[in-house]
Amino acid sequence: MVISKIDKMHSLSKNQQIIFDLIDKSPEPLKAYTILFNVQKKGIKAPPQVYRALDKLVEMGKIHKIESRNAFIACHNSSCQVAKATAFSICEICEKVTEISSAGLSKYLANFKDKDGMKYSKYNLEFFGLCKKCR
């Protein structure tokens, strides 16, 4: 076995790489059909090709879905180990989205227990407000 499992886990297929590169270069979250439009010249012609790649990239933690916007952003936490515990701030005017990486916040949420004492290792938090520029 030349390629270790670890290496394998970090390797992207052709379509995954194309779509990840596009999202990673983008200064703003991209919607699925915006992505589709932008990769048609690279041979990705149909929605399922885009959605499949997006699904895998989300699973891997390489990108995150901004649920309130139906859009995708590259993970900016160095490790990409936080695929399942995400937090973002969203400007309601310019729609700028920033991934929040706060040890305090993630610790608080990872340890949060509901009324029944249940803990949840997976969560998605979206803060809304006005960014510096828009205030």
Partner DNA sequence: CTTATAAATGTTATATTATTACATAGTGTT
Partner DNA sequence: AACACTATGTAATAATATAACATTTATAAG
Nearer to DNA, 44 or 87 (CB): 44
Give the count of beta carbons closer than 10 Å to the beta carbon of residue 31.
Answer: 14
With beta carbons less than 8 A apart as the criterion, state whether 58 and 20 touch.
Answer: no
Q: Does 81 help bind a copy of itself (rule: CB under 8 A)?
A: no
Closest CA to 133 of 80, 100, 89: 89
How far apart CA 130 and CA 124 sit, in angstroms, is 20
In the region spanning residues 19 to 78, those forming contacts with a copy of itself, defined by CB under 8 A, are: 67-68
Binding part of the chain for DNA, among 37-45, 74-82, 103-111, 123-131 by CB under 7 A, reads 37-45
Q: Is 66 in the site for DNA (CB under 7 A)?
A: no
Distance of closest approach, residue 128 Cβ to a copy of itself, in angstroms: 4
Q: Decide whether 5 or 116 has the Cβ nearer to a copy of itself.
A: 116
89 CB-near residues (< 8 Å, 6+ apart): 97, 98, 100, 126, 127, 128, 129, 131
Q: Which of 58, 60 has the CB closer to a copy of itself?
A: 58
Indicate the residue among 18 and 29 with the shorter CB distance to a copy of itself: 29
Q: Is 30 helix (H, G, I), strand (E, B) or coil?
A: strand
Which residues contribute to the site for a copy of itself (CB under 8 A)? 67-68, 84, 89, 98, 100, 102, 105, 108-109, 112, 114-116, 118-129, 131-132
